[in-house]
Structure formats: C-alpha cells, structure tokens
Amino acid sequence: MDWPIGPYGTIMAVILLSTIPLRNLLTRDEPDKRVSLSELPAEIRAKGYYWHISLYVLMYIYKFMIDQHNEPIKARVGGYTHWLYEIEGELTLWVQETFRNDLLTDVLSFHYLFVYLFVIWFSPMYFILVRDHTMADKAALNYFVIYLLSVPLYLFFNVEVTSTYNPGMDALLYHDSWYLEFVTNNDPMDNGVPSLHFGLPVGLLLLNRLHCKDKGISISEWRHREFDLFVMINLVVYFFSIQYLGIHWIVDIIPGLILAVICALFIHKWQPAIRARSENGWKSVIPKGQSLAIAAVFALVCSSALALVAVDGPGSDDEIANMRLGPDDVKIDTIEVHSLWDPVGVEVRNVGENSVHVIILHRSLVIDNVERGEVNWESIVSPLTVDEFQEIVIDSGSSWQTEVSTPSVGDTHLILVKTADGGDFSEVRITMQYVTDELIWSAMLLSIPAFLIGGLVLAQAVKSEDEMGEQASDEES
C-alpha cells in the first residue's frame, strides 16, 4: 500500500475521525449525556482531566526509556523462546497455514495496529465524552498501569515472535513494505510475553465489571454495555490475529491475563483516592502501614530474583538459538540506533547443522522487497555491488562477528538470514553489543514500580482474607 503518511499517520487519522461518530453510535439512546467538542475544554477543567493528559505524556517518556534499555541489555539476559516452543510447538504455524489469505492478512494487519491504538485513545476519550469521569480515570490508568506491570517481563524475559522462531512461518505483519519501517522503529520483536494486545482490553473489561458490581447492577444493564461488547468482540479477533500474523504464542496470552487481573484490582482500589487527591492531598494516595510493608518486601524479593536469576542466567546461553529457519525462509532482525558515535557489535552464531547465508543492509534497501511476509532475497541482493554489501556464509558451529556504525537516527540496519542451498533447517543465535549494554541496573530500577503495584495488590488480598476471617469469627460468636 502506497500512502504518503505511512501506517501510523493513517491509523491515527482514522482513529481521530472515527472517535465522535462511534461515540454517537454508542450513545444514540442518550444524546443528552454527550459532551460536544465546544464543551470539551470546560469539561476537562471541571473534571480535572489534566492529569490524564499528563499520564499519557509520562507513558510516552517511560516507554521511550524502556525502548532504550530493551536491546542493549539483551546480551546479558538472553531469551526464553525455546521454553514456549517446547510447550506449544508449531500450533501457531498451523493456524497461519490453514487460514492464509491475502485479504485476511491485510485486514488483520490493519486491525492489529488500529484497534490497539484505538482502545488506548478511545477508551478514556469515550468516557470523557459521555460524562463518566470515574470510568475515564480507570480507562486512562489501565493503559499506564498494565504497561508498568509488563516492564520486568519485557526487559528480562525476552520471547521472540513466532515468525522468527517457527521454521516455515512468515511474519505477515512485520515483513511488509507498508509496515516494515514502522514496526522496526517501534517493535523489538522479542516482547512476546506478555501480550498487551490481549491484556489491555481484558483489563478494561474487568474494570467494567468491578465498577458494575460496586453500583449493584449487572453488566447487561450498564449504560456502556455496547462499548463493553465492542471491546469484547475485538478481543476475540485478537485471539486469532496474534497467532495468524506470526506475532504471539498462545502461551503469551496467559501472562497478559494475569497482569490484567492485577491491573484491574489495583486501579479499582486506588482510583477513588486518586480522584479525591485535590481535597485530601497526594499524601492520601501513598500507601501506609501493612500495605506499604508488604509492597516493599515484595519489590525487594522480586528485584533480588532478577539480579540473581535473570541477569547472566539460563536465557543468556550463547548455544541456544533465537532464530530458526526452514529451507525457503528469509528472516530479519533489527540493529537499532542507540549511539551516533559508537558502532554496534554483531555476532551471528550458527548453532544448527546447516550452513546459513547472512547479510547486513540498510533498511532502505530492503523495504521495497518484502510483501505479506515474503522476503525476496534475490531481488534485494542482485542489484547490489560487492562494495554495497558482503554476503557471509556461516558453517555449522562457526560464528561471524562484525561492527555496524549508525551515525544518524535514520541509520537502521537489518540482518537478513537464510538457509544455505540444500539445507532443510537452520538455527542461529544473533547477539548485539551496544555501547549502552551496562544499563542492566537502571533496567532493574525501572522494573520496581511493577513489583510495588504487585505487592499492593497482594496486600489487598491479605487484608481481604483477614476481614473475611474476622467476619467468620463474628458469625460464630
């Protein structure tokens, strides 16, 4: 698809243009509840929505910091894709091969990016535009908190996308001329666990039900029931698309569900205190006593586990493959830009039984030669001179080391790997050494908020059990 503003610009334009029409459709029975665009600034001031805006700005900054840590520390923490493969094998490959269709690929690729960004944007905006400040708070917090919870797994439990590790599986979303630049700029392709495309909407659905329970009504009677159904339907589509497109393992969904539960319980408990902070002050939001003690101990235990187990742990074994190929596969890894002065050290180790071809090229030389998961090796290589690239053949048990310079922010390079002629199956391990590879300790600091939130939810559970025990004792008396 040739479109001048690219996938991100196109998707954001569609999101903005569809916000008001969808709000109107969902509230067609209660137009009096709508906030018009002219009333929106006054509504933001009246309901104190400034912190929602600040939350999204903070989220952008925090995500940028995580992205700056993900690849540089990967050499120290490695990956665990082989564990998930041992659990479910090539089930996602069967899904792709069984249902593969070009039109389905185009529709699901757009849906995968569009609906996730749409839920992030539309959920709080919808509740703001229908005068429900409580749910607007919870929807905004849902995005922020579930991402915080995912950070330790994203940084210290790397899992490659299924199309990188399953021989014969194509990266239908990633390897496409329209999406390639966007995804290589924004997705490290090793953040499989957890699936936030699943966890984020589940967290919102759980918050909806906790809210209705507090109100003493069933979800079917709730005024936002149609929006709830809209999220639910798209969640079902995601369950299929994340497998079909060559992105997530089925097992990735389980941590996403667990984090969604933790996220919903935390937000449902703390949103009233956050909403009342203007009257009670920020000190009222800070946990105290037993809750703070449990959260602190939990964070200390989890941080110690990261330091002792994850760093230089079993995932960093350089004999374990993080890319596996069939006879006709061409697979891609990204060399990110983290320094404009220092080169990136690249090692490609052949840990399989067959030789592999490896080339490193600037992304601009690859984009026009990928389409719907297919990478045309010959059309990429044939126009190039020997001065523009060097094709390396790595035999079984051997490795190749090189350095790649990135003197500008646009100097993203791609590593292309294919099985040598006559080979049926290949395994390689690609390791990159960035100048910032000592960020491991700041990565642990960035993981602490997730552990504190988990500890506070644990404290909530302990307190609930104590209250139930006291209630049972009173009843016996």
Higher model confidence: residue 94 or residue 285? 94
Using pLDDT thresholds of 50, 70 and 90, give the confidence band for residue 3: low
pLDDT the model gives residue 328:
87
**Contact call for residues 203 and 263 (beta carbons, < 8 A):** yes
pLDDT the model gives residue 472:
47
Helix (H) or strand (E) holding 163: helix 162-165
Mean pLDDT of 155-159: 96
- pLDDT tens across 425-439, in order? 999 999 999 987 679
**Selection from 203, 148, 140 nearest residue 450 by Cα:** 148
Tokens of 209: 């039900």
Helix (H, G, I), strand (E, B) or coil at 334: strand
pLDDT at residue 422 tops 90: no
pLDDT at residue 78 tops 90: yes
Burial 268-278 (b: 16+ CB within 10 A, else e): bbbbeebbeee
pLDDT at residue 136 tops 90: yes
Mean pLDDT of 115-137: 94
Beta carbons within 8 Å of 125's beta carbon, 6+ residues apart:
19, 23
Torsion sign across C-alpha atoms 169, 175, 179, 184:
positive
Mean pLDDT of 173-185: 90
In angstroms, the CA 159 to CA 155 distance is 10
Beta carbons within 8 Å of 257's beta carbon, 6+ residues apart:
198, 199, 202
**Contact call for residues 142 and 263 (beta carbons, < 8 A):** yes
User: Which region holds residue 168: left if phi is over 0, alpha if psi is between -120 and 50, else beta?
Assistant: left
pLDDT the model gives residue 275:
87
C-alpha 45: how far from chain center: 32
Mean predicted lDDT score pLDDT of the chain = 91
pLDDT at residue 224 tops 70: yes
pLDDT at residue 229 tops 70: yes
Between the alpha carbon of residue 438 and those of residues 142, 435, 450, the distances in Å are 31, 8, 21
Cβ atoms within 10 Å of 64's Cβ, excluding its own? 9
| Bridge-based pairing state of the strands 413-419 and 356-362 | antiparallel
Tokens of 8: 């991100």
pLDDT the model gives residue 1:
46
- pLDDT tens across 232-271, in order? 999 999 999 999 999 999 999 999 999 999 999 999 999 9
